[in-house]
Amino acid sequence: MTDNLPDHTNATQLSIIVPVYNEEEGLQALFDRLYPALDALAAKRHLRYEIVFVNDGSKDRSAGILSKQYEIRPDVTRVVLFHSNFGQHMAIMAGFEYARGQYIVTLDADLQNPPEEIDALVNELLAGHDYVGTIREQRRDSWFRKSASRAMNHLRQRITRITMTDQGCMLRGYHRRIVDLVRQCDESNTFIPALAYTFSASPTEINVKHEERFAGESKYSLYQLIRLNFDLVTGFSVMPLQIFSILGMLLSLAAGTLFAYLLVRRFVLGAEVEGVFTLFALTFFLIGVMLFGLGLLGEYVGRIYQQIRQRPRYVVQTVLEQP
């Protein structure tokens, strides 16, 4: 294992990408922990780092706070300011676009991922792993969030065959090769850790600590979490559609059998009108199944539509950086 990087050029070797959306209350606390942690890491491993903050169209003072921080540490800070809110994954995508490092680590701005853990990730990257996933020890989220994400993790693993013990944690490390492949994909709705995983040759996972949000509240509503999970499942597998065609096949088989049975009864017992409510129940159930199927089709069609329009995935307003 190499502890020191072989080349001693002036090039940046490590890029940290931090998406920021309405985080004014927590940013200063983040700076106070992130910069010392990275300065120590850089000294220990003899490497140059940079932090790429991507302001995802915050409506509060976040952009101003980031510009001020850029003036304080212009040597290691770069700030990408989005025109409006394009979502966490697009912010990370932009970070990938602007990052110059050989190794790239993504980190949340809310201090739920301790910056001190970056060292452990870098260790795995230097050891030759091209993708470093993380598993949150003692996750500090609400009970509902935890159990819902456990169930979703399980389902996603079965459907997409992507092995991620903990899909929700965004503190992750990637090799430049993976990041370049992700950038080439040009997808407008995506879940970056899963996409990156599909390109990795030697992935690994490590345990990291997890803390409560330092300030402010989660930027994800239940609705957005559901949307994100659709991105994750439909973006990486067509199995939901296939399950649906099998379900449709089974249901029509059952309906056909029922029809034959009723036809025989009609001739044996004569006309009957009993069991109307059962029929209603059955019909409503089938309508429900059909609506769900239509919605599912819509998920895929919607994605195709967004993709073929080829609108820009995000719009950058300004970039604060040194040449």
Instruction: Pick the stretch among 102-110, 147-155, 173-181, 301-309 that binds Mg ion (CB under 5 A).
Output: 102-110
Radius of gyration (Cα) for the chain, nearest Å?
Answer: 25
Q: Which two tokens stand for residue 140?
A: 């500090």
The answer to the question of residue 85 lying near ligand UDP (CB under 6 A) is yes
The answer to the question of residue 300 lying near ligand UDP (CB under 6 A) is no
Of 98 and 220, which has the nearer Cβ to Mg ion? 220
91 binds, among ligand UDP, Mg ion, none (CB under 5 to 8 A by kind): ligand UDP
Of 91 and 99, which has the nearer Cβ to ligand UDP? 91
**Shortest separation between residue 175's beta carbon and ligand UDP, angstroms:** 22
Of 56 and 205, which has the nearer Cβ to ligand UDP? 56
**Shortest separation between residue 218's beta carbon and ligand UDP, angstroms:** 3
Cα–Cα dist 111/211, whole Å = 7
300 binds, among Mg ion, ligand UDP, none (CB under 5 to 8 A by kind): none
The answer to the question of residue 91 lying near ligand UDP (CB under 6 A) is yes
Of 110 and 166, which has the nearer Cβ to ligand UDP? 110
Of 56 and 130, which has the nearer Cβ to ligand UDP? 56
The answer to the question of residue 317 lying near ligand UDP (CB under 6 A) is no
**Shortest separation between residue 141's beta carbon and ligand UDP, angstroms:** 7
Residue 88, classed as helix, strand or coil, is: helix
The answer to the question of residue 153 lying near ligand UDP (CB under 6 A) is no
197 binds, among Mg ion, ligand UDP, none (CB under 5 to 8 A by kind): none
For the chain, the straight-line distance linking the first and the last C-alpha, in angstroms and rounded, comes to: 33
Question: How many residues bind to ligand UDP according to rule CB under 6 A?
Answer: 16
The answer to the question of residue 219 lying near ligand UDP (CB under 6 A) is yes
The answer to the question of residue 19 lying near ligand UDP (CB under 6 A) is yes
20 binds, among Mg ion, ligand UDP, none (CB under 5 to 8 A by kind): ligand UDP
**Shortest separation between residue 214's beta carbon and Mg ion, angstroms:** 9
x/- site string to ligand UDP, residues 101 to 140, per CB under 6 A?
Answer: -------xxx-x----------------------------
Q: List beta partners, residue 208.
A: 136
**Shortest separation between residue 216's beta carbon and ligand UDP, angstroms:** 8
Q: Could you write out the three-class secondary structure of the chain?
A: CCCCCCCCCCCCCEEEEEEECCCHHHHHHHHHHHHHHHHHHHHHHCCCEEEEEEECCCCCCHHHHHHHHHHHCCCCEEEEEECCCCCHHHHHHHHHHHCCCCEEEECCCCCCCCHHHHHHHHHHHHCCCCEEEEEECCCCCCHHHHHHHHHHHHHHHHHHCCCCCCCCCCCEEEEHHHHHHHHHCCCCCCCHHHHHHHHCCCEEEEEECCCCCCCCCCCCCHHHHHHHHHHHHHCCCCHHHHHHHHHHHHHHHHHHHHHHHHHHHHHHHCCCCCCHHHHHHHHHHHHHHHHHHHHHHHHHHHHHHHHHHCCCCCCEEEEECCC
Q: Which two tokens stand for residue 280?
A: 């209603």
Cα–Cα dist 134/207, whole Å = 6
The answer to the question of residue 110 lying near Mg ion (CB under 5 A) is yes
Which residues lie near ligand UDP (CB under 6 A)? 19-21, 23, 56, 85, 87-88, 91, 108-110, 112, 218-220
